[in-house]
């Protein structure tokens, strides 16, 4: 159905793809896996015509093709469902489905009745009960995803690409999705399925292709691999070389205790304890309320209830400024939106949480600031020209190190890291893991929010799992494994997985 | 605290900034100099002592407003109320006996009104999440109403001689009012560029969420920004009243847009977090030179307005390209 041969693509200085091969057959579900930065997204965009390859050949339906834009690929029957839905929240389901392909009647005006009828037909074909007149913003995320898939059916879809479809939906909804995908597959649609969740890949895929650092590593029938093999293919080395040795639980005193923290609509009566010298992971599905819980503890979100103790002292719910003064830090998930002062330089970002250290009588001591920045650049091996490099020009991994350096300076007691390795290459990842372990060894209590199960299993001394806004369980030491975490995260046996 | 000696240092690879982006901050000064040279060649009168001193006289009130406007725009806002504050401040200047003895009370009352307006603007923007455009438009109109009510539509009275001297007199061709601008520019320029508060302004303007998570009181920083803008506008109003000599209800009309244009031309991004006082003042100088040249060349005044529009588009296009 689709065949990529020797596809290469580079962006300003970075080779995103180097000569990859990839093929999909009609009527199969082909899983595409790899770490962040492996080149999955770039590949999808090239297949979808959103990017043009620098070299290589795309063949679709037996013919060599060259898309000049997404419209070409769409016309040929390729449809992509990105993680971020492309839906207009204030329009109806039917209007969204036929957006850009409105059913027209007399005088070229939109025929609303026909739009509604055709939408109902499509939704029925997909086997979902969604009212075509409903406003999209009123639907659940899972139903919105179904609307996205319906959009693909407006045209005769031959190749459907799904980018991390289960990142936003729960286990039960995922099973419904898988059933729909199986039905499409039976109709002869080729499906490319991108996911981090190895369990579900073993559940639905026929073949799997592994990318790493922009190169094709392997393509195999799903029956010919097992979990461990797949992970080591993705990572390119054994797990023990990536994660620093754990310290193991026991010993550390409780540094921070949060009890019955609630955030309106997101978190209900969640509690946890963080111990000095330990890395505690906060695991769960996207949308389970992990970030909100941690943010409320730090003071970045208003909590409707809850109490925090630091070193046994009851401090109630703090503001970010108070938390920082008490030795807490928060490395946010969204570097660009919340973490960095993107327009400022490395020095200003490193000292941003601790302006006291560089302020003398209200004036910033730029020399002192540069000196601090140079020390941190060396300590964390941040690749940049110097303290005055604008952070906006740096790579994701180096930006992340700037943020970690900032908070490591001020966090005497507690450091929260929300998805600390998202969008970071394997080399920087390994370094960030080592920095985290080092900080823990220095006696700081770390809380790591992560959606990547191998990371949780590899790093955490203790795991607190959340599901739909509540803490659903806690694991420690040898009890930490992916299946156990998934079980607590979904409470849904089939997603917890009994695969090899 | 952290010691990482185990693995090899990462190579310091990073794309070099292009030549154009490295020298882009010189574009405006070069443009200003070119403008002056060309104007001087076209009309020798342009570079005459009296014309230069005339231009300096005009740049002072605009420059003072731009200082405040710069703070607000860097904080992702804009301040339309400055013209109304200026006019109110000018009305206050004539509301006393018109003697030098009243200079201090006039200053206090005028700046007080500017500060109060700034506080209201800041509170509306931060605590009530009103868009800066609407908030400052509203205070502009409300203040205007108070002014009309106070003056009964026909302001009268005299500006104290001291203000007249500062606003319009020169010393060896150098107007006194430019000294006021220089003092304020140095004080508030340093505050922005060097102080802890200035750093908080840039962080808040770049991203208010980041600022909050860093423990910065973003609301307070923003309110102070509007207060500075109000105070600057009040002082500019006094300076301008001394220049105009008489007072009407519309002193300072058009300064709200001119100051925003000057700031944007000077590289202060309307999306916040970027730019500085020096750029804004250069932008103000370019505006004054362009207006002056248009008049001096005997071109129709309407052309001023057209040129202003073109300048905004060109500046906007230039900075959009630069920020990519």
Whether residues A122 and A201 share a domain: the answer is yes
* Cα A187 to Cα A165: distance, rounded to the nearest angstrom: 20
DSSP string, A168-222: SS-HHHHHHHHHHHHHHHHTT-EEEEE-S-HHHHHHH-SEEEEEETTEEEEEEEG
Contact partners, residue A429, CB within 8 Å, separation at least 6: A35, A242, A397, A421
Q: Given this model, what pLDDT does residue A166 score?
A: 76
For the packed helices B49-74 and B82-93, what is the interaxial angle rounded to 10 degrees? 120
For position A479, which CATH number holds? 3.40.50.300
CA atoms within 13 A on the CB side of A321: 8
3-state secondary structure of B168: helix
For the packed helices B27-42 and B277-296, what is the interaxial angle rounded to 10 degrees? 20
3-state secondary structure of A271: strand
Q: Shortest CB distance from A385 goes to which of B10, B14, B203?
A: B14
Contact B206 A341 (CB under 8 A): yes
Domain for residue B291, yes or no? no
* Cα A431 to Cα A398: distance, rounded to the nearest angstrom: 11
* Cα A5 to Cα A20: distance, rounded to the nearest angstrom: 6
Q: Tell me, what's the ipTM? A: 0.78
Q: Given this model, what pLDDT does residue B23 score?
A: 61
Contact partners, residue A106, CB within 8 Å, separation at least 6: none
Contact B203 A341 (CB under 8 A): yes
Q: Shortest CB distance from B209 goes to which of A321, A338, A385?
A: A338
Q: Shortest CB distance from A13 goes to which of B6, B15, B214?
A: B15
Domain for residue B218, yes or no? yes
Contact A380 B213 (CB under 8 A): no
* Cα A170 to Cα B218: distance, rounded to the nearest angstrom: 37
Alpha-carbon gap: B7 to the closest alpha carbon of chain A (Å): 9
3-state secondary structure of A404: helix
The residue among A341, A344, A388, A425 with the most chain B CBs within 10 A of its CB, best to mutate, is: A341
Q: A–B: how many Cβ contacts below 8 A?
A: 115
Alpha-carbon gap: B188 to the closest alpha carbon of chain A (Å): 13
Q: Given this model, what pLDDT does residue B159 score?
A: 82
Residue of B nearest to A340 (CA): B210
Whether residues A166 and A217 share a domain: the answer is yes
3-state secondary structure of A365: coil
Alpha-carbon gap: A275 to the closest alpha carbon of chain B (Å): 19
Whether residues A187 and A203 share a domain: the answer is yes
- Which residues in B lie closer than 8 A to residue A320 (C-beta atoms)? 212-215
Contact B194 A364 (CB under 8 A): yes
3-state secondary structure of B245: coil
* Structural domain total, chain A: 2
The DSSP symbol for A452 reads: -
- Which residues in A lie closer than 8 A to residue B11 (C-beta atoms)? 383
The continuous run of DSSP H or E covering A73 comes out as: helix A70-76
Contact A321 B203 (CB under 8 A): no
pLDDT, average across residues B118-122: 97
Contact B200 A341 (CB under 8 A): no
Q: Given this model, what pLDDT does residue A170 score?
A: 67
DSSP string, A132-168: TTSBGGGS-HHHHHHHHHHHHHHS--SEEEEESGGGS
Domain for residue B268, yes or no? no
3-state secondary structure of A7: strand
| A372-381, B52-61, B76-85 — most confident range | B76-85
Among A158, A191, A146, smallest CA distance to A44 is for: A191
Q: Shortest CB distance from B196 goes to which of A355, A380, A435?
A: A355
CA distances from A361 to A353, B141, B191, B193 (A): 18, 39, 12, 15
A96: left (phi over 0), alpha (psi -120 to 50) or beta: alpha
Low-confidence ranges of chain A (pLDDT < 50): 492-500
Among the candidates A190, A221, A237, a domain finishes at: A237
The DSSP symbol for A356 reads: G
Q: Given this model, what pLDDT does residue A334 score?
A: 77
Among the candidates A237, A263, A287, a domain finishes at: A237
- Which residues in B lie closer than 8 A to residue A343 (C-beta atoms)? 202, 206, 273-274
Q: Given this model, what pLDDT does residue A452 score?
A: 81
| Residue A222 main-chain phi, psi, to 5 deg | -65, -30
Contact A341 B273 (CB under 8 A): yes
Long-range contacts of B269-272 (CB under 8 A, 24+ apart): B269/B73, B269/B319, B269/B323, B270/B73, B270/B78, B271/B76, B272/B73, B272/B74, B272/B75, B272/B76, B272/B205, B272/B206
* Cα B201 to Cα A448: distance, rounded to the nearest angstrom: 31
Q: Shortest CB distance from A320 goes to which of B10, B203, B212?
A: B212
Q: B12 pLDDT exceeds 50?
A: no
Contact B200 A384 (CB under 8 A): no
Domain for residue B15, yes or no? no
* Structural domain total, chain B: 1
Whether residues A254 and A187 share a domain: the answer is no
Whether residues A270 and A301 share a domain: the answer is yes
Q: Shortest CB distance from A343 goes to which of B13, B214, B273?
A: B273
pLDDT, average across residues B265-283: 90
Among the candidates A183, A202, A237, a domain finishes at: A237
Q: Please, are residues A208 and A427 in contact by the beta-carbon 8 Å criterion?
A: no
DSSP string, B48-61: SHHHHHHHHHHHHH
Q: Please, are residues A415 and A328 in contact by the beta-carbon 8 Å criterion?
A: yes
Alpha-carbon gap: A366 to the closest alpha carbon of chain B (Å): 8
- Which residues in B lie closer than 8 A to residue A385 (C-beta atoms)? 12, 14
Handedness of CA B282, B284, B285, B290 (dihedral sign): positive
Instruction: Show the domain range for B135.
Output: 59-252
Domain for residue B2, yes or no? no
Q: Please, are residues A272 and A246 in contact by the beta-carbon 8 Å criterion?
A: no
pLDDT per residue as tens digits for the range B142-188: 999 998 888 887 777 778 888 888 888 888 878 889 999 999 999 99
Q: Given this model, what pLDDT does residue B24 score?
A: 63
Q: Given this model, what pLDDT does residue B5 score?
A: 33
pLDDT per residue as tens digits for the range A118-132: 888 888 887 788 898
* Cα A345 to Cα B23: distance, rounded to the nearest angstrom: 18
Q: B6 pLDDT exceeds 60?
A: no
Contact B13 A389 (CB under 8 A): no
| Exposed e or buried b per residue across A123-134, where buried means at least 16 C-beta atoms within 10 angstroms of its C-beta | beebebebbbee
CA distances from A436 to A353, A407, A480 (A): 19, 12, 19
Whether residues A249 and A233 share a domain: the answer is no
The residue among A343, A369, A379 with the most chain B CBs within 10 A of its CB, best to mutate, is: A343
Instruction: Band the pLDDT of B101: cuts 50, 70, 90.
Output: confident
Region of poorest pLDDT, from A26-30, A89-93, B118-122, B221-225: A89-93
The continuous run of DSSP H or E covering A290 comes out as: helix A290-298
* Cα A15 to Cα A21: distance, rounded to the nearest angstrom: 16
Contact B11 A431 (CB under 8 A): no
Whether residues A271 and A210 share a domain: the answer is no
Whether residues A215 and A251 share a domain: the answer is no
Residue of B nearest to A355 (CA): B196
- Which residues in A lie closer than 8 A to residue B10 (C-beta atoms)? 381, 383, 427-428, 431
Contact partners, residue A25, CB within 8 Å, separation at least 6: A1, A190
The residue among A296, A302, A349, A355 with the most chain B CBs within 10 A of its CB, best to mutate, is: A355
Whether residues A402 and A452 share a domain: the answer is yes
Among A91, B234, A424, smallest CA distance to A403 is for: A424
Strands A2-11 and A78-81: unpaired
Alpha-carbon gap: A341 to the closest alpha carbon of chain B (Å): 6
pLDDT, average across residues B226-239: 95
Instruction: Show the domain range for A391.
Output: 242-496
| Residue A11 main-chain phi, psi, to 5 deg | -120, 150
Contact B4 A323 (CB under 8 A): no
Query: Percentage of chain B surpassing pLDDT 90?
Result: 41
Whether residues A172 and A204 share a domain: the answer is yes
Contact partners, residue A152, CB within 8 Å, separation at least 6: A79, A81, A160
Q: Is-above-0.80 flag for pTM?
A: no
The DSSP symbol for A386 reads: S
Alpha-carbon gap: A211 to the closest alpha carbon of chain B (Å): 23
The number of residues making up chain A comes to 500
3-state secondary structure of B11: coil
Whether residues A214 and A247 share a domain: the answer is no
Whether residues A176 and A259 share a domain: the answer is no
* Cα A460 to Cα A244: distance, rounded to the nearest angstrom: 11
Instruction: Band the pLDDT of B10: cuts 50, 70, 90.
Output: very low
């Amino acid at each position: 159905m689709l065949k990529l041969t020797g596809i290469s693509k580079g962006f300003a200085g970075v080779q995103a793809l180097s000569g990859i091969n990839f093929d999909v057959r009609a009527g199969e579900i082909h899983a595409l896996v790899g770490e962040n930065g492996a080149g999955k997204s770039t590949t999808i965009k090239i297949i979808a015509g959103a990017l043009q390859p620098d070299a290589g050949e795309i063949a679709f339906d037996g013919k060599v093709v060259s898309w000049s834009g997404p419209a070409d690929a769409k016309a040929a029957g390729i449809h992509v469902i990105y993680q971020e839905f492309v839906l207009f929240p204030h329009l109806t389901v039917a209007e969204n489905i036929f957006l850009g392909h409105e059913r027209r009647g007399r005088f070229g005006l939109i025929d609303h009745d026909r739009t509604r009828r055709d939408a109902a037909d499509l939704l029925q074909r997909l086997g979902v009960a969604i009212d075509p007149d409903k406003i999209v913003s009123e639907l659940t995320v899972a139903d919105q995803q179904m609307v996205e898939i319906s959009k693909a059916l407006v045209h005769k879809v031959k190749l459907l690409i799904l980018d991390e479809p289960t990142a936003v939906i729960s286990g039960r909804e995922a099973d419904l999705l898988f059933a729909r995908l199986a039905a499409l597959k039976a109709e002869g649609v080729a499906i490319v399925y991108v996911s981090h969740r190895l369990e579900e890949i073993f559940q639905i895929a026929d073949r799997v292709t592994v990318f790493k650092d922009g190169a094709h590593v392997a393509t195999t029938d799903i029956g010919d691999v097992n979990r461990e093999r797949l992970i080591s293919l993705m990572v390119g080395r054994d797990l023990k070389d990536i994660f620093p040795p754990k310290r193991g639980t026991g010993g550390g005193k409780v540094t921070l205790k949060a009890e019955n923290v609630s955030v309106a609509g997101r978190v209900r009566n969640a509690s946890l304890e963080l111990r000095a010298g330990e890395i505690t992971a906060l695991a769960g599905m996207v949308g389970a309320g992990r970030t909100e819980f941690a943010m409320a503890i730090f003071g970045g979100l208003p909590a409707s209830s809850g109490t925090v103790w630091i070193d046994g002292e009851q401090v109630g719910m703090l503001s970010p400024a108070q938390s920082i003064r008490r030795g807490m830090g928060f490395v946010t998930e969204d570097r660009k939106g919340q973490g960095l002062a993107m327009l400022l330089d490395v020095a200003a970002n490193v000292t941003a949480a601790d302006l006291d250290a560089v302020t003398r009588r209200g004036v910033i001591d730029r020399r002192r600031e540069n000196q601090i920045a140079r020390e941190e650049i060396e300590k964390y091996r941040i690749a940049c020209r110097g303290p005055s490099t604008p952070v906006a020009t740096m790579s994701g991994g180096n930006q992340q190190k700037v943020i970690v350096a900032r908070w490591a300076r001020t966090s005497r007691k507690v450091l929260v890291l929300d998805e600390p390795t998202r969008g970071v290459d394997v080399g920087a990842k390994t370094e960030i893991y080592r920095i985290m372990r080092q900080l823990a060894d220095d006696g700081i209590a770390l809380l790591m929010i992560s959606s990547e199960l191998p990371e949780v299993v590899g790093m955490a001394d203790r795991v607190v799992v959340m599901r739909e806004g509540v803490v659903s369980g806690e694991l420690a030491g040898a009890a930490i494994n992916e299946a156990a975490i998934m079980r607590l995260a979904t409470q849904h046996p089939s997603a917890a997985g009994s695969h090899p | 605290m952290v010691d990482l000696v185990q693995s090899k240092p990462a190579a310091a690879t990073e794309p070099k900034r292009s030549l154009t982006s490295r020298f882009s901050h010189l574009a405006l000064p070069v443009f200003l100099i070119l403008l002056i040279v060309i104007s001087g060649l076209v009309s020798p009168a342009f570079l005459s002592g009296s014309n230069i001193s005339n231009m300096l006289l005009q740049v002072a009130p605009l420059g003072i407003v731009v200082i405040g406007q710069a703070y607000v725009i860097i904080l992702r806002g804009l301040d339309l109320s400055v013209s109304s504050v200026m006019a109110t401040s000018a009305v206050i200047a004539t509301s006393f006996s018109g003697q030098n003895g009243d200079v201090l009370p006039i200053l206090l009352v005028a700046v007080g009104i500017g500060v109060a307006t700034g506080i209201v603007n800041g509170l509306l923007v931060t605590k009530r999440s009103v868009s800066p455009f609407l908030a400052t438009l509203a205070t502009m109109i409300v203040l205007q109403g108070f002014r009309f009510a106070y003056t009964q539509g026909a302001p009268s009275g005299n500006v104290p001689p001291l203000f007249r001297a500062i606003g319009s007199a020169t010393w060896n061709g150098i107007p006194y009012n430019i000294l006021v601008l220089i003092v304020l520019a140095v004080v508030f320029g340093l505050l922005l560029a060097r102080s802890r508060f200035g750093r908080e302004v840039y962080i808040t303007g770049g991203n208010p969420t980041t600022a909050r998570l860093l423990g910065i009181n973003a609301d307070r920083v923003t309110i102070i920004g509007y207060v500075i803008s109000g105070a600057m506008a009040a002082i500019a109003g006094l300076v301008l009243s001394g220049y105009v000599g008489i007072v009407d209800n519309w002193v300072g009309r058009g300064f709200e847009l001119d100051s925003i244009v000057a700031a944007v031309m000077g590289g202060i991004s309307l999306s916040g977090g970027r730019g500085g006082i020096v750029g804004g003042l250069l932008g103000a100088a370019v505006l004054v030179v362009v207006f002056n040249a248009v008049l001096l060349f005997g071109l129709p005044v309407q052309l001023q307005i057209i040129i202003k529009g073109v300048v905004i588009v060109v500046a906007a296009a230039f900075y959009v390209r630069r920020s990519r």
